[in-house]
Amino acid sequence: MDLEPRHRLPFPLPSHWPACAQGLLREGAVWLHDGGTGEDLLGLPGETLRTTWAGEAWATSLNREDWPGSPWEALEAVIPSHPFPWVGAASFELACDEGGLPRKPVPEGQLGQHWVGLREALRVKDGAAELWSWSAIPPDPAAWLARLSPARAPDGAALDLSPAWGASRHRSAVEAIRTRILEGGFYVANLCVPFQGRLSGDPAALALSCFDRARPPFGALLDLGGLHLLSLSMERLLARRGDRIWSQPIKGSAPLTGNPGRDAAAAEALAADPKERAEHTMILDLVRNDLGRVARAGSVQVVRPMAVEPYPTVQHLVSTVEATAKPGLGLAGLLRAVLPGGSVTGAPKHAVCRHLAEAEAAPRGFYCGALGWIAPNGDLDLALPIRTAQIEAERITYWTGGGITRRSDPDREWQELHLKTRALTGD
């Protein structure tokens, strides 16, 4: 995680890490987990920027004080005025509004974005720990040791999930999209379904087990003030370092069983599958177009097309699209160009979003919005929060979805929904 601190101190990692972090997480700490590199960042939140739906428009506040302007403009104004990075998330519906796209109605008070400034954090990698600080005052190791002392034994977690609709309704929804495609309405649409249920136990305990099992590159547990987000995402929506911007869309899935021969055959079949390649190509073109809106002319390129990448429970087709940002490109303009992500909407984006607003069971919330960190200099790394649970009290909602093309098999699409729940359930 490219978040260079002002101060860094070696820290004696407790033997009971990361179970000892549960108490800190219960108090609102944010946890970023990179399962690919084995890096964890456990941060203490400070300033808070929130946007909620006020009935007719989005209303933004910084530390409970109203902030004028659009949500993205507020974010662009606030972040550079502080010396520390911000960690948080934005919802799919907020992204649709900022991008001028149709979306489902949301109830008054619905949270649209929540970002917290990090003053201090514990960074753990390869069994070694450091304390990081972005303020003028170095971190206090004794205070951190006290914070990490568990007040009680680590909790466990259990959950049950069921889809919001059954196979028959999903078949009808898939067929409706295929009909629209054949009529020329659009080329590909990403249809999503919420799985809902009850969580018995602590969100932090669930995160511990999921991170250990799924090893997500963009794992996170965020407390958004009564709403917990548990991200098991593997998809990079948008990253920026200086004037370099890039995205890594995922489209195309196959099971990963742990049997080398079977998995190699599945990877080969995935890479050659006409439906999966066509779906991926259409989304790739959409992402190239999105980046092209804010990139220097001729700078957009696909540097790694349709690579098969394995994860603990599934393998995907992944491409990397990068570009050079136009001079003077700010955060608001960049977010409006890219969000909501092409791989979780479809092509053309406006027509697909209008259809999904009518076809899907509920507003997506933070699922398929954006989640990650933004630095004061404009650098950022935002995941597309797929494989992401939204937890309120004991109620848990976990969406899954897939791209529908004219070649889609409704039964196969239904099976894919359940395959994608394995990162959370372990089944």
Catalytic center residues:
235, 251
- DSSP H/E element including 260: helix 260-272
Phi and psi at 335, nearest 5°, equal -65, -40
399 - beta bridge partners? 194
Whether the Cβ atoms of residue 5 and residue 133 lie closer than 8 Å to each other: yes
Here the tokens at position 152 are 């009680």
Whose CA is closest to 403, among 368, 379, 427? 368
The alpha carbon torsion through 148, 124, 43, 338 (nearest 10 deg) reads -150
φ/ψ (deg, to 5) at 337: -70, -35
Tokens read off for 355 = 């259809």
Structure tokens that stand for 254 in this block: 């196959």
> How long is the chain?
427
Give how far the C-alpha of residue 40 lies from the chain's centroid of Cα atoms, to the nearest Å: 16
Q: At what angle do helices 260-272 and 274-292 cross, to 10 degrees?
A: 60
Contact 319, 303 (CB under 8 A): no
User: CA-to-CA distance for 29 and 380, rounded, in angstroms?
Assistant: 20
- State the alpha helices, DSSP H only, in 41-155: 71-78, 92-98, 141-147
